[in-house]
Structure 1
Amino acid sequence: MRARYDDIADWYEQEFLAGQGDDDPLEVGLALATLLGPGSGPCLEIGCGTGVHAETVRALGRAPVGVDLSGEMLRYAKPRLPVARADAERLPLRDGSVPAAVAVLVHTDMPGYPSVVREAARVLKPGGVFVHIGVHPCFCGGFADRSDPAALVLRRGYRERGWTTDSWTDRGLRDKVGAAHWPLPDLLSMFLDAGLVLDSFAEGGGDSPLQLSIRARKP
C-alpha cells in the first residue's frame, strides 16, 4: 500500500518542517510536557512521520518508538527512533504492552481514527496514558480561513464530517494530502467508546487555538 505522505515526504522534511526552524507554532512541545509528562519505558508514537517529536519524548525520560504507514516518511524517522511500518488501525503490538502512547497531529490524516483510538487502548497497559495532540476541530478545517492574521473567519461546515482538501493556504498539508474532520463531540466520544477515561485537556497555538490536546487513561 502506498501512503499519501510517500509523495510529499521530501517536501515535508526539507521545506515544511525546515521552514518552521525552532518555532513550535502549535505548542506541541508544551502539550507533551504537560499532558504526557516525565516517565520511563517505551512510548509508542502512532503516526510518527519523520520522527520529529522523538527528542521531546526522550527528554521526558521515555523511550520513543514509532509506527507509520508511509515508508518514505519512515526513511527520515529511522535515525531518530526505532520504527515499524504498520497500519495504525492494526498495531503490531501485544495487548497491554506499553505504558504510554501519543498521536501528534495525525488524527486528521486517519479516516479510521476511531479504530486507531481503540487500538491505542488495546496496547496500553492498565493505568497507561494516551495523549492525543491534534489540530483544533473547532477552529481548524476546511471551514476555517486563517489568511488574515488578525481575523479568523469560520464559515459553514463545522458540523460536516468527512474528508476535504479545502484549505486557506497552499503552503500547508490539507491541500496536498487532504484531511478528515470530526466535530468536537465526535472526537471526545472516540475515547469513551474505546473504554478510556478522559483525564485532562489543553489548547495551544494562539487566542483562537490551533491545537487541542487530550490525555486519557486506561482503567
Structure 2
Amino acid sequence: MTAAYDEIADWYEHEFLARSTPGDPIGIRRSLTTLLGPGAGRCLEIGCGTGAYAAPIRDLGWTPLGADLSAGMLRHAAGRLPVARADAARLPVRDASVDAAVTVMAHTDMPDYPAVLREAARVLRPGGVFVHIGVHPAFCGGFADRGDPAAVVIRPGYLDGHWTTESWTTEGVRSRVGASHWPLPELLQAFLDAGLTFERFGEGGAPVPTVLAIRARTVRT
C-alpha cells in the first residue's frame, strides 16, 4: 500500500506541525480535553498520523493506540504510541475491544469516512466513547477562501461533496494531498447510520470556526 502522506511525512513532522501547533489556536487540545475528557482504558486514534496527539490523550489518563495508512507518518508516531499500519475502514482490531476512539483532524483524509465511523462503532465496547475533531465542514474546504480570517468567503461547491486539492493556501496540507468533503447533514447522518448516539458538540477557532468537534457513544447493553 502507498499513502498520500508518505511523500510529505517529514515536512509534516518538522515544518507543518512546528508552524501550526504553538499554543492551541483552533482549539484541538481543548476539544480533546472537553469531549474525550479524563478516563482509563485503551483509546484508539484512527488516522493517528505522526502521533502528535498521543501526549494529550495520555495526559487525560487514557492509554493511546494508533492506526494509520501512511508508513511515513508512522515512522514518527512509533516513538509516541503503539501503532499499526492499517486502512481506517478495515481496522485490525477485535470487536468491542477498546474503551474510546478518536479521529483528530483526519476525517478529510479518508475517502470513505462513513465506513470509518462504522469501524469505530464496531471496535468500541458497548457504551464506548467516540470523539471526532475535524475541519469544520461549513467553513473549510475547497469552496472556502480563508485568506482573510475575519471574512471567510464561501464559494459554490459546499453542497457537492467531493475530493479536491483546491485550497486557499499553498502552505498547508490540502494543496499537497487533497481532501474529502461531506456537507454537515451528510457527516452527521453518517454517525447515526453507524449506530453512534450524539452527546455533545463543540467548535474551535475564531472569529470563524475552523474545527467542529463531536462526542458520540455506542449503545450500552
Q: TM-score, normalised by structure 1?
A: 0.98
| Displacement after TM superposition at 1:22 (Å) | 2.2
Distance (whole Å) between structure 2 residues aligned to residue 21 and residue 172 of structure 1: 13
State whether structure 2 residue 212 is matched by structure 1 residue 209: no
Q: Which residue of 2 aligns with 1:154?
A: 154
Distance (whole Å) between structure 2 residues aligned to residue 179 and residue 82 of structure 1: 26
Q: Tell me the SS of whatever aligns to 1:64.
A: strand
State whether structure 2 residue 110 is matched by structure 1 residue 110: yes
Distance (whole Å) between structure 2 residues aligned to residue 150 and residue 114 of structure 1: 32
Distance (whole Å) between structure 2 residues aligned to residue 21 and residue 198 of structure 1: 28
- Counterpart residue identity of residue 25, structure 1: P
- 1:160-196: per-residue Cα shift (whole Å, max 9, x none)? 1110111000001110000000000000001100011
| Displacement after TM superposition at 1:21 (Å) | 4.8
Note the 1:71-82 alignment, pairs <5 A.
71-82=71-82
Distance (whole Å) between structure 1 residues aligned to residue 137 and residue 111 of structure 2: 14
- 1:58-109: per-residue Cα shift (whole Å, max 9, x none)? 0000000000000010000011001010111011111100110000011100
| Displacement after TM superposition at 1:151 (Å) | 1.6
Q: Which residue of 1 aligns with 2:175?
A: 175
State whether structure 2 residue 53 is matched by structure 1 residue 58: no
Q: Which residue of 1 aligns with 2:143?
A: 143
In the alignment, is the contact (CA less than 8 A) between 2:149 and 2:207 conserved in 1? no
- Where in structure 1 are there 5+ consecutive unaligned residues? none
Percent identity for Structure 1 against Structure 2: 65
Distance 1:21 1:130, change over 3 A: closer
Q: Which residue of 2 aligns with 1:130?
A: 130
Q: Which residue of 2 aligns with 1:92?
A: 92
| Displacement after TM superposition at 1:18 (Å) | 1.1
State whether structure 2 residue 220 is matched by structure 1 residue 198: no
In the alignment, is the contact (CA less than 8 A) between 2:5 and 2:73 conserved in 1? yes
Distance (whole Å) between structure 1 residues aligned to residue 205 and residue 183 of structure 2: 19
Distance 1:208 1:50, change over 3 A: same
- Counterpart residue identity of residue 32, structure 2: L
Count matched residues. 219
